[in-house]
A and B are shown apart, each in its own frame.
Chain A
Amino acid sequence: MLLARTANDLYWLGRHLERAEGLARICAEHTNLLVDLPTDVESDWTTLLAVTGTVAAFADRYAGRGEADVMTFLLADIGNPTSLVRTVSSARENLRVCRQLLPVDAWERVNRLHLRLVEGAGCATSRSARLELCEEVVEACQALSGILETTMSRDDVWRVCQLGRQIERADLTTRVLDVRAGGLMRTGSVPSQPPADRSPYEEVRWLGVLRSVAGQHTYHRQHRGAVEAARVVDFLLGDASFPRSVLHCVDEMEALVAELPVRTTVTGACRGLRSVLRHRRGTAMDAQDLHRHVDDLQVALAALHHVIGTAYFEAGHPAGAARTRSVAR
């Protein structure tokens, strides 16, 4: 049995944990990227704001656009509800509601991470301290995934939490694609350039895109040799075996939904998402086309998120006919 109210917090716990890990990854990756780029190549920190969808919120709070401001805003700013410290804090508040359903260690992990961030997120401006912090966050999130993966029953508690993780993961991958990959492409139907014509740093940047979603290694195992734009896009959208590709997330979500109480709105929204993913518009290497495609995917993800809320978390209202069901414990 899973209370509708608690399910809502489980779902958001999944989303917030995934978001925290993703945010730590892209911040670490962007910081690392600088090391590989020559000092005269301008590094635009505001792309991180675009990825996280916080360009306007940032402009409201900061005058500058530099590294220190952007990093403080994204990692340590308590006034920014999507900052890393606030995301982990939100995960902890979600966990507070569903703590009784999860392994004891899960609470300890998130609690410790929360305490660590409250105390140490202020060091976001120093690059080395920042990298260390982001690595710690990724590690803590991975450890937590391990705890959940190896100790939880595969019941509705597990499924709802995973549903949150997968939808957040798909969302993050599409955002990274849109902003980071899109930024490397040209607009208009220009075919992929032969490697020799590319800027020497383009490959480094494409590697950065892959690293943002921990996909570098897997990509190399599948596609030996130079990193090619079209392949990266295909890989992140449609590789069935890579756990952070949009397709893989959709597969996972459909499998989870299939075992949750049957709700036609949710299965319908999953199907809708899959169909958008399958029917890509335009050419693979056009920024405008990619942007439109990502937009469509995000609309479909938002629709799925919405129906999950109405189908499960608002279930069992007094308006619904009371159904007696004996529950074996």
Chain B
Amino acid sequence: MTFEGYRSPTYDELIDERGRPRPVAAELVAHLEAIGPTELAARQAAAQASIEAAGISFTVYQEGLGIDRVWPFDVVPRVIPRREWDRIEVGLVQRLTALNHFIGDVYGDQRIVEAGIVPSELVNGSRGYLDVCEGAKPAHGVWAHICGSDLVRDRDGTMYVLEDNLRVPSGVSYLIENRTVTKRVFAELFAHQSILPVDAYPERLLRILASLSPRPDPTIGVLTPGVYNSAYFEHSYLARTMGVELVEGSDLVVEDDVAYLRTIDGPVRVDVLYRRVDDAFLDPEVLRPDSVLGAPGLISAWRAGNLAIANAPGTGVADDKVVYSYVPDIIRYYLGEEPLLPNIPTYRCVDDDDRRYVLQHLPELVVKPANESGGYGIVVGPAASKGELEAIAERITAEPRNWVAQPTIGLSTVPTICDEGLRPRHVDLRPFTLLGGDSYVTCGGLTRVARNEGSLVVNSSQGGGSKDTWVVDTGA
């Protein structure tokens, strides 16, 4: 009686409001009922053991033997109907295409500012804006080649885009590894239904990266900050599965605007870098002078067209919560289409009316810094103390450009293994979208799950877990 009495306080991805399985999850729920709670717990333990043995981990700073923490995983998958996913896919590509037009325009003629769609200070005063990118013309006109959007589903079942992560989003390796583990644990279920595969990503990413190269037969590298970076596992994973070099800043040397790798054979020219190093650390000549994670001259090699960098420098300008609020207008302006995926209504504190509303309604809103990622700096109104609300009100008044606010979104739940059995826990979803010579969206995405009851915090750096995500073709 695994699901007996299971009720979610909001929209649940597997079980409807009357406690019946949703059609797309019927097979899965029947199977979980059939094996029972004891067997389910055994499979959860087996999954965690195999993750540990395979060394699927993320890095934390820790003294002693080893620096990694086992990737937290819950074996009960999240299920999405294929028909819904097909629509989301198109919406994600639409969004990324429009955002790339926007970035190119921002570093070019700024037509969108001239047209009065976005205010000049939004882009020109943005922390993500890099002077060195002005006038650059990357291949295919694409700046952000890899995007890891965060999607959330509200109480009524609507899927919203919560964030566009256009800088160095991570998680895709876990998405693929979660599937590998699930196949071991629930092998029988894969035989009976059509669950779309997720393992094409590295090959598609490689194709996109190769399409950016200035030369045929390119040498390609994944640029990592190194083994202490929290996503190092993923950098290594992607280098291996694409069969490209895993590069650190110290491996690179630039001479006459051409970048080389230091190999045992001497310097070898490199054509494309998939960098997992933040903009500010890419090139100490132009950006942060104290950085050892990048290499001097990388930006000028990129500007000279001798080196492709993905994502291109400067994409952070579009990865800003205030810019986010303009994305529907950005889509309409560049593509002449209506947005397919809705935005969460967003109040811009820089706007006088919006700010007044936000300051009056703080206890019911989520306040976010405009330019942070990883869930840092967010104040959740309903959960905040009086003192926290007063502090955030002061900060908003002092620097309105740095803050936005949104209504609290429910975040749907998925049954998750807890000490007391299966309980609803809140999830989000991070699909990965690729854009270059062509486009690609992962089948589903990485489902991140909050571990504690009622918690909305899903980041693995803050104790969140993960689930496999099935896009199921029911033929319907």
Contacts and interface: CB of A to CB of B under 8 A. Distances in A.
B262 A317 contact: yes
Contacts of A260: 264
Contact of A322 (B237, B247, B267): B267
Instruction: Give the interface SS of chain B, mostly helix, strand, loop or mixed.
Output: mixed
Interface in B228-245: 232, 236-237, 239-240, 243, 245
A148 to B, nearest CB: 15
B30 to A, nearest CB: 34
Nearest to B221: A3
Interface string B369-385: 00000000000000000
B64 interface: yes
Contacts of A101: 240
B258 A322 contact: yes
Interface in A296-323: 312-313, 315-318, 320, 322-323
Most A C-beta atoms less than 10 A away, residue of B64, B65, B240: B65
A326 B246 contact: no
Interface stretch (B17-25, B50-58, B438-446): B50-58
Contacts of A313: 264
B85 interface: no
A78 interface: yes
B245 A3 contact: yes
Nearest to A262: B265
B263 A315 contact: yes
Nearest to A88: B65
A111 B255 contact: no
Interface in B34-58: 52-55
B200 interface: no
Interface stretch (A4-12, A49-57, A286-294): A4-12
Contact of B264 (A111, A261, A328): A261
Contacts of B239: 100
Contacts of A323: 266-267
B65 A118 contact: yes
B46 to A, nearest CB: 15
Contacts of A97: 227
A221 interface: no
A217 B54 CA distance: 36
B251 A4 contact: yes
B217 A329 contact: yes
A327 B53 CA distance: 35
Instruction: Give the interface SS of chain A, mostly helix, strand, loop or mixed.
Output: helix
B265 A320 contact: no
Most A C-beta atoms less than 10 A away, residue of B52, B232, B250, B253: B253
Contact of B269 (A2, A5, A324): A324
For chain B, give the interface size range.
Answer: 35 or more
B240 A100 contact: yes
Interface residues of A, number: 45
A114 interface: yes
B292 to A, nearest CB: 13
Contact of B268 (A115, A118, A325): A325
Given A97-B227, A100-B246, A114-B66, A4 B55 contact: no
Contact of A111 (B53, B227, B266, B268): B53
B302 to A, nearest CB: 17
B261 interface: yes
Contacts of A1: 219, 245, 261, 263, 265, 268
Nearest to A109: B53
Interface string A102-118: 00100110011011001
B268 A327 contact: yes
Nearest to A329: B217
Contacts of B267: 316, 320, 322-323
Contacts of B250: 5
Contacts of B256: 322
B262 A4 contact: yes
B236 A99 contact: yes
B53 A115 contact: yes
A108 B54 contact: yes
A231 interface: no
Contacts of A111: 53-55
B71 interface: no
A3 B263 contact: yes
A141 to B, nearest CB: 17
A160 interface: yes
A99 B241 CA distance: 11
B261 A89 contact: no
Given A107-B55, A322-B255, A329-B217, A315 B240 contact: no
A96 interface: yes
Nearest to A315: B264
Contacts of B258: 322, 324
B160 interface: no
Most B C-beta atoms less than 10 A away, residue of A1, A6, A89, A93: A1
B264 A89 contact: no
B260 interface: yes
A80 to B, nearest CB: 13
B283 interface: no
A328 B217 contact: yes
A205 interface: no
A278 to B, nearest CB: 29
Contact of B64 (A78, A317, A320, A329): A78
Given A108-B55, A111-B53, A316-B261, A3 B266 contact: no
Contacts of B219: 1, 327, 329
B51 to A, nearest CB: 11
B264 A160 contact: yes
A317 B269 CA distance: 13
A20 interface: no
B227 A4 contact: no
Given A1-B245, A89-B66, A312 B217 contact: no
A85 interface: yes
A325 B255 contact: no
B89 interface: no
A156 interface: yes
16 contacts: A1-B268, A3-B245, A3-B246, A3-B262, A6-B246, A96-B227, A96-B236, A97-B227, A114-B66, A160-B264, A315-B266, A316-B262, A318-B255, A323-B267, A325-B269, A326-B217
Given A111-B55, A312-B264, A316-B263, 5 more contacts: A2-B263, A97-B227, A114-B66, A322-B253, A325-B268
Interface of A: 1-7, 78, 85-86, 89, 92-93, 96-97, 99-101, 104, 107-108, 111-112, 114-115, 118, 156, 160, 260-261, 312-313, 315-318, 320, 322-329
Interface of B: 52-55, 64-66, 217-219, 227, 232, 236-237, 239-240, 243, 245-248, 250-251, 253, 255-256, 258, 260-269
